[in-house]
Amino acid sequence: MAISSALWSFALVIGLLTLTPGLDTALILRTSALGRRRRAWGVVLGIQTGTLAWGLFTSLGVTALLTASHLAYTVVRWIGAAYLIWMGFRMLRDTFRGLPTADADNSVLAAGADSVSGGWRQGTLTNLLNPKMGAFYVAVLPQFIPAGTGHFTMGLLLTTVHIVIGLLWSAVLIGFARVLQGWLRKPRARRVLDRITGTVIGIFGIRLAFSS
**What is the tens place of the pLDDT at every residue in 3-49?**
888 899 999 989 988 888 788 888 898 888 877 889 999 999 999 99
| Predicted structure pTM score | 0.76
Residues 6+ apart with CB under 8 A from 202: 84, 85, 88, 89, 92
**What is the tens place of the pLDDT at every residue in 153-205?**
999 999 999 999 999 999 999 988 887 777 766 777 777 877 888 888 888 78
pLDDT at 119 (0 to 100): 93
In terms of average pLDDT, the best of 50-54, 61-65, 106-110 is: 50-54
Range of the domain at 94: 3-101+109-210
Q: What integer is the mean pLDDT of 77-106?
A: 72
pLDDT at 161 (0 to 100): 96
What is the Cα–Cα distance from 169 to 18, expressed in whole angstroms?
Answer: 7
What is the Cα–Cα distance from 44 to 17, expressed in whole angstroms?
Answer: 16
Residue 211: helix, strand or coil by DSSP?
coil
- Measured CA to CA in angstroms, residue 65 lies from 57, 61, 68, 153 at distances of 10, 7, 5, 20
Position 106 confidence tier, pLDDT thresholds 50, 70, 90: very low
Q: Which of 53, 58, 54, 32 is nearest to 169 (CA)?
A: 32
pLDDT at 1 (0 to 100): 58
> How many separate domains does the chain show?
1
More confident residue, 124 or 104: 124
